[in-house]
Amino acid sequence: MQAPVLGIVIPCYNESEVLPITINALQKHLSDWIRNGKISNESFVLFIDDGSRDDTWRQIERIHQHDARFQGIKLAHNVGHQHALHAGLMEGYEAADCLVSVDADLQDDLDIIETFVKQFQAGVDIVYGVRTDRTSDSWFKRTSAQWFYRLEKALGVETIYNHADFRLMSRRAVAGLAAYPERNLFLRGLVPTLGFQTSEVPYTRAERLAGESKYPLRKMVALAWDGVTSFSVRPIKLLFFLSLFMVVVSGGFVVYTLYRFAEGETMSGWASLMLSIWFIGGLQLFGIGLIGEYVGKIFSEVKRRPSYTIEETLK
């Protein structure tokens, strides 16, 4: 069987500290795989510079001049990891038989890409890299991730446990993804909805080799929230059940009050009145806020703005 053309897509945001190490490792791996006939010599690496403000793009230009297998796309501004990765998949899939997405910091194990490609050749369209050992992540990141997976499951969203965008996709799988018009991207949730034959390959996630994480808590929470609201309306449905419960409880109160009234008692109570006003008011605001989140999603979807703009291409 002919060796497939592999494209490795790497979103980069201010990664100049780690990029030289990454490029070195990739050069070595690409050469090895090509020499051993695992992948075609037309295989390439596609860097997506996600509006970096440091030396990242200059480094990509430099390596492209030396080694044309290294290609680059410079986005006009920072659009975030998911959109940068999406841009790379969209701009890269026509030239490749399969695409692998990797982070610039080499936390994902490049060695197992070979296994990915083997599975692809055996007919699998989507191969998920799954972390078995997360001790390199902080306790907080591990625990919050576990809770997130549980939440997704409870809400009926299909997600792959401990998988974080390190995966192989065949050209036709990415073409399938290209047909999705959505702007709120949570690729980990979107890719499983494509169908196709899939498999999982375990690996140990390493520490970031250099530079710092570009995912502060704020972005992690935003991503998780996108993961919920882009795939499930169950939170609004739960709101409906909450309202039913409140109706039943208040019905009970009405009966109780009338009963006491019939006994000739009027009930006083500043505390109970204040508490219920604040409680009900809070619940209502919560409900409006929750619906507002979905309305906001609709708003950003109907505008149909492009999810990225390309400033420069090196191919």
Q: Please give the residue ranges that form the binding site for Mg ion (CB under 5 A).
A: 103, 105, 107
Helix (H), strand (E), coil (C) string for 118-184: HHHHCCCCEEEEEEEECCCCCHHHHHHHHHHHHHHHHCCCCCCCCEEEEEEEEHHHHHHHHCCCCCC
Burial 111-134 (b: 16+ CB within 10 A, else e): ebbbbbbebbeeebbbbbbbbeee
Q: Counting runs of H as helices and runs of E as strands, what totals does the chain give?
A: 10, 8
Q: How far is the CB of 80 from ligand UDP (least distance, A)?
A: 4
Point out which span in 8-16, 87-95, 242-250, 282-290 binds ligand UDP (CB under 6 A): 8-16
Site membership for ligand UDP, residue 13 (CB under 6 A): yes
Of the residues 3, 26, 84, 173, which one makes contact with ligand UDP according to CB under 6 A: 84
Residue 108 binding partner per list Mg ion, ligand UDP, none, with a CB distance cut-off of 5 to 8 Å that depends on partner kind: none
Residue 50 binding partner per list ligand UDP, Mg ion, none, with a CB distance cut-off of 5 to 8 Å that depends on partner kind: ligand UDP
Q: Is the dihedral of CA 201, 207, 213, 218 positive or negative?
A: positive
Q: How far is the CB of 222 from Mg ion (least distance, A)?
A: 16
Phi, psi of 36 (to 5 degrees): -85, 5
Using alpha carbons, list the distances in angstroms from residue 96 to 7, 55, 168, 174. Answer: 6, 28, 12, 10
Of the residues 71, 107, 162, 230, which one makes contact with ligand UDP according to CB under 6 A: 107
Point out which span in 211-219, 259-267, 270-278, 286-294 binds ligand UDP (CB under 6 A): 211-219
Structure tokens at 141: 């990141």
Structure tokens at 272: 């109970």
Q: How far is the CB of 96 from ligand UDP (least distance, A)?
A: 19
Site membership for ligand UDP, residue 215 (CB under 6 A): yes
Q: How far is the CB of 74 from ligand UDP (least distance, A)?
A: 12
Residue 307 binding partner per list ligand UDP, Mg ion, none, with a CB distance cut-off of 5 to 8 Å that depends on partner kind: none
Site membership for ligand UDP, residue 214 (CB under 6 A): yes
DSSP for 204-256, written as a single string: E-----SS--S--HHHHHHHHHHHHHTT--HHHHHHHHHHHHHHHHHHHHHHH
Q: What is the total count of residues that contact ligand UDP (CB under 6 A)?
A: 17
CA 114 to CA 117: how far, in whole Å?
5
Residue 80 binding partner per list ligand UDP, Mg ion, none, with a CB distance cut-off of 5 to 8 Å that depends on partner kind: ligand UDP
User: Is residue 311 helix, strand or coil?
Assistant: strand
At 244, which amino acid appears?
Answer: L
Q: How far is the CB of 48 from ligand UDP (least distance, A)?
A: 7
Q: How far is the CB of 102 from Mg ion (least distance, A)?
A: 10
Nearest to ligand UDP of 11, 189 (CB atom): 11
Site membership for ligand UDP, residue 213 (CB under 6 A): yes
Nearest to ligand UDP of 101, 229 (CB atom): 101
Residue numbers 64-83 binding ligand UDP by CB under 6 A? 78, 80-81
Q: Name the nearest CA neighbour of 183 among 293, 100, 75, 86.
A: 86
Positions that interact with ligand UDP (CB under 6 A): 11-13, 15, 50, 78, 80-81, 84, 103-105, 107, 208, 213-215
